[in-house]
Each structure stands twice: as C-alpha cells, then as structure tokens.
C-alpha cells in the first residue's frame, strides 16, 4: 500500500477533489430563483448606530504595514466606539452603494462571511454579543452581558480573548458561495475571511491599536455563543483587538 495514500486525510482529498481542470469544471448551472440573500437580518434585535467611517487621510499604508504585529498582551484601556465603527467598516464595509462592493474582496462578489463581535470594553457599547449589519453600518444587539470567560474558553483558553477590547468572530453562510461554486466554495470562504482579518489588522494599527488573529477555537462552542447552527453557518476565523501593554 502506498504509504502516502495511507496517511491521506479529508483535507488532502478536499484539495484534490476541488481542483479546477480545463474541460472538467465543476457544474456551474445557477439556480437564480434560489440565490441566497446577501445580507443576514436580525429584525427584532435592538440596533446600535455607528459613526460614519473615515474614508480619507489617516496613517500612510506603508507605515501601517511595517508596524503590524500580532500582539498577545493588552492593557485595560477601553476602545472608543468611533474606533469600533472604523474597524467594522475596514473589515467589510460597503464602498459603493450601487454595487454593494466592500472594502475586502470576495469571490464572485457573493460575500458569504458574516461579522460578529464579543464586546468586552468599548465605550458607549454594552458588553455582549453583536452582529454587524453591513448595509446599515450598525450593530444588532444579540445578547447583553459579560462574555469574556466563555469566549476565551472557546478560543483554546487564550487569555488574549479575555483581555481584548473586542473579539471579532467571522462565520460563513456557505450556501452563498456554494450556490455558484459548489464544493470549490469552501476554498473561497477561507480566503474571504483572510482578506477581512488583514483589513482589521491594518486598521487597528492605523488607530494605534493592536490585534492578533486566532484560528484555534472550539467550533461548536463559538457557534453556540453566537446562536448559529454550525452547519449552514459556522465560525471560520477570529481576531482580537486591544492596546498593547
């Protein structure tokens, strides 16, 4: 038996089975009548208005890129609400109202990724669980309370999730991409989340804040914290933001 084949796992098979090859592309017939909605709604959730984002000026890009580091120790200094607004817009804010295009690229402009927050220490925003309503540039308040401990526990007991001002949690609604790209879509959602996390990392530096990206977490614990099912929609990435000590 081939030793390499004996060690093959689901990730190896996925990589091979979702390759594009000339003349053998995946089925691309589109069911337009059942195209998933672009925006997730929480119609009964209380809304938190956010300040309009700054779209000009700011710290030069090259300086921001040079200064970016993954920081794992934060001081107890609250994040300003206007700074949270800027970070959310950087993640995936809308830059063109007519097209709905956003600050981060998305394969096919399908935007499968949703942004949630655990706010620990943000001025004028109660600690709790929130969803970013992208088209409204506002927050849906899902839960109110101190979730420092459960979010840290769900992130492999990493203290930075407990000490951070805010924890960004990105989920994917997979059908938004699968509608067009079938199983190949799973490649794209990870890429989309990576673009967004990098935007937040750079925006944090521009605001004189710091961040660290987290790929290690207990998926179902995070999903339960957000109230998503873990199948149709599931956590894929996290970022913590704070002020370095």
Q: Looking at the domain assignment, is residue 213 inside a domain?
A: yes
Q: Looking at the domain assignment, is residue 140 inside a domain?
A: yes
Q: Looking at the domain assignment, is residue 134 inside a domain?
A: yes
pLDDT value of residue 6: 61
Strand intervals (E) in 37-112: 47-49
The pLDDT tens digits of the residues spanning 190-203 come to 999 999 999 999 99
Which helix (H) or strand (E) element contains residue 113?
Answer: strand 113-119
Radius of gyration of the chain (CA): 19
Q: Looking at the domain assignment, is residue 154 inside a domain?
A: yes
Residue in the block written with tokens 């993640």:
91
Distance of alpha carbon 116 from alpha carbon 226, whole angstroms = 8
Q: Looking at the domain assignment, is residue 40 inside a domain?
A: no
Distance of alpha carbon 130 from alpha carbon 132, whole angstroms = 7
Per the structure, the count of domains in the chain is 1
- Report the candidate in 108, 87, 106, 88 with the shortest Cα–Cα distance to residue 192: 106
- pLDDT band for position 28 (cuts 50, 70, 90): low
Q: Looking at the domain assignment, is residue 26 inside a domain?
A: no
Which structural domain range is residue 81 located in? 65-242
Angstrom distances, CA of residue 43 to CA of 48, 79, 112, 142: 13, 27, 19, 11
- pLDDT band for position 7 (cuts 50, 70, 90): confident
- pLDDT band for position 21 (cuts 50, 70, 90): confident
The pLDDT tens digits of the residues spanning 105-126 come to 999 999 999 999 999 999 999 9
Percentage of the chain with pLDDT > 90?
92
The pLDDT tens digits of the residues spanning 32-72 come to 999 999 999 999 999 999 999 999 999 999 999 999 999 99
pLDDT value of residue 1: 46
- For residue 173, is pLDDT > 90? yes
Q: Looking at the domain assignment, is residue 230 inside a domain?
A: yes
Percentage of the chain with pLDDT > 70?
96
- For residue 5, is pLDDT > 80? no
The CATH number linked to 152 is 3.40.109.10
Q: Looking at the domain assignment, is residue 180 inside a domain?
A: yes
Distance of alpha carbon 158 from alpha carbon 240, whole angstroms = 11
């Amino acid at each position: 038996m081939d030793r390499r084949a004996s060690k093959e796992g689901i990730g190896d098979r996925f990589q091979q089975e979702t390759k594009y090859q000339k003349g053998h592309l995946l089925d691309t017939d589109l069911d337009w009548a059942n195209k998933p909605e672009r925006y997730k709604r929480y119609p009964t959730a209380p809304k938190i208005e956010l300040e309009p984002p700054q779209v000009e000026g700011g710290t030069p890009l090259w300086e921001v890129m040079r200064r970016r580091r993954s920081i794992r120790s934060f001081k107890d200094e609250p994040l300003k609400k206007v700074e949270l607004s800027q970070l959310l817009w950087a993640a995936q804010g809308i830059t063109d109202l007519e097209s709905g295009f956003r600050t981060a690229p998305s394969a096919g402009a399908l935007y499968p990724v949703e942004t949630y927050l655990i706010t620990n220490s943000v001025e004028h925003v109660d600690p709790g669980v929130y969803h970013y309503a992208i088209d409204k540039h506002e927050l849906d308040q899902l839960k109110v309370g101190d979730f420092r401990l459960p979010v840290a526990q769900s992130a492999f007991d990493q203290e930075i999730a407990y000490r951070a001002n805010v924890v960004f949690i990105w989920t994917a609604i997979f059908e938004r991409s699968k509608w067009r790209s079938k199983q190949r879509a799973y490649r794209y959602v990870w890429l989309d989340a990576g673009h967004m996390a990098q935007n937040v990392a750079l925006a944090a530096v521009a605001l004189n804040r710091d961040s660290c990206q987290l790929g290690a977490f207990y998926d179902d614990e995070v999903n339960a914290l957000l109230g998503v099912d873990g199948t149709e929609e599931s956590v894929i990435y996290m970022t913590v933001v704070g002020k370095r000590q």
